[in-house]
Amino acid sequence: MKKTRISWLTPDYFIDCDLNVIHQLALSGEYEIHWTVIFLKQNSRFSVADLKYLEGIENLHIHYTYYKYRVRNPRNLALFYKLLKGMNREKADIMYIDHPAIPYFAIAAVLLLDKAKTIFTAHQGSVHSGFSFKSIFKASYKFAYSRFKYVQLFSEAQSKLFKALYPQTQVYTINLALKSFGDTDKRLVKDEVVFFNFGTVKPGKNIDLLIEAACNIYEAGVRGFRIVIAGSCPDWDFYQQKIRYPEIFTCDIRFIKNDEISDMFARYHYLVLPYKVVTQSGPLKIAFNYNTPVIASRIGSFADEMKDGVSGYLFEPENVKDLERVMTNAINTHAENYGRLMEAQRKYVNDNYSLDVIVEKYKNMFKSVNI
């Protein structure tokens, strides 16, 4: 049987979206994949060493390159032109582009890629309030996405937004695959309930709501819990001054390495995502992978992909009182409910987000494009 030849492009910050899917597709023997990976100039989340275990797989060929400048620098147009010309030379049946339609990349993609066999991903259905330079990105997104026949999104909420803007486009919706950062021998903390958040701390993630809720319930007499905030933050003083009871907080404000992530999810009880805006969440899929219940705002893909009381708990967005209610209930019912919640989440994830389920959806998408 002839293998479907796929030329696949992924920048560093989306590697964890594609990694496990590519691995399984290559092992299936149905595809020959040429994967181009672009690492950031500085502070890449991944490195060549992280992908070494994939080298030698018969149907997978990996090509590495690096941004020479910051991602939005116009001088990257030369890099994009070279990369996409190289991908064209591979004469693939399908071009899979998991790269945002940022300025300069959008220009190169429109000029060089065959629209009839290219699947362009969109991680946002529209340019939302969290974007800087909104007008520029709106123009760039429209320039690219209005010209491609096939676009894949990663949540129903974002697909709905996208379809309203580009009704003529064939849209595929496949949820992000689970994200693993390796095994761990750590075990859950026993003497207190730990709520945690990790990653870059920035305004849209609304971490100050978590801080306020934690301080309020502690002030009201709730005990037996701790808050862990781990990640880099350019303006930590803003958050630090909101911590009224430092004795219940552990704050590790720095860049968190990949090999530290699995330990957090194994040790702590609830990942808290009090976001103001979300497209699709990588941390949610890490939590699903490590069977860690989630507390999240009832918005966007959280509302789509979480089942309240099964995969965790939802609360009304930007409502500190409702977050207090959920956290207090989680603490007070921990002994009798937490094990049952983990088991319910495990079954929900196996039924909806197992790698086999996700990979089969990719296969169906590729078949419909490559007719």
| Residue from 294, 323, 293, 303 nearest 208 by CA | 323
- Mean confidence (pLDDT) of the chain: 92
pLDDT for 129 beyond 60: no
* Per-residue pLDDT band at 155 (split at 50, 70, 90): confident
206 and 173 assigned to the same domain: no
Same domain, 27 and 86: yes
Say if residue 252 is in the same domain as residue 154: no
| SS3 category, 44 | coil
C-alpha distances (whole Å) from 269 to each of 124, 248, 306, 332 are 29, 15, 17, 14
Is 362 contained in some domain? yes
Residue 66: which H helix or E strand, with range? strand 60-66
High-pLDDT (> 70) share of the chain, %: 97
Q: What integer pLDDT is reported at residue 128 of this predicted model?
A: 59
Are 218 and 346 within one domain? Answer: yes
| 124 confidence band (pLDDT: 50, 70, 90) | confident
> Do 295 and 328 belong together in one domain?
yes
pTM given for the model: 0.79
- Kindly tell me if the per-residue pLDDT of 130 is higher than 70: no
Do 169 and 240 lie in one domain? The reply is no
Q: Are residues 317 and 364 in the same domain?
A: no
Please check whether residues 297 and 264 belong to one and the same domain: yes
Residue 194: its H or E element = strand 193-198
pLDDT at 56: 87
Reported as a single tens digit per residue, the pLDDT across 59-111 is 999 999 998 887 778 888 999 999 999 999 989 999 999 999 988 999 999 99
Residue 191 has pLDDT above 60, yes or no: yes
> How many domains is the chain partitioned into structurally?
2
Q: What is the model's pLDDT at position 73?
A: 80
Task: Please report which residue ranges of the chain form alpha helices under DSSP H.
Answer: 15-28, 76-89, 105-112, 134-145, 156-165, 207-219, 236-240, 258-267, 282-289, 300-305, 320-332, 334-352, 355-369
Does 40 lie in the same domain as 170? yes
Is 185 domain-assigned?
A: no
Mean pLDDT of 144-164: 92
Task: Give me 276's structure tokens.
Answer: 């103001």
Assess whether 109 and 152 both reside in one domain. Answer: yes
Residues of the domain holding 197: 193-352
Q: Give the list of residues 6+ apart from residue 154 with CB closer than 8 angstroms, or none.
A: 17, 121, 123, 173, 174, 175, 176, 279, 280, 301
Q: What is the CATH number of the domain that holds 285?
A: 3.40.50.2000
Cα separations (Å) of 311 from 1, 197, 228, 278, 327?
41, 17, 20, 18, 15
Considering the domain architecture, whether residues 340 and 232 belong to the same structural domain is answered as yes
Whether 23 shows a pLDDT value over 90: the answer reads yes
Integer CA distances (angstroms), 155 to 101, 182, 266, 316, 347, in order: 18, 25, 26, 20, 20
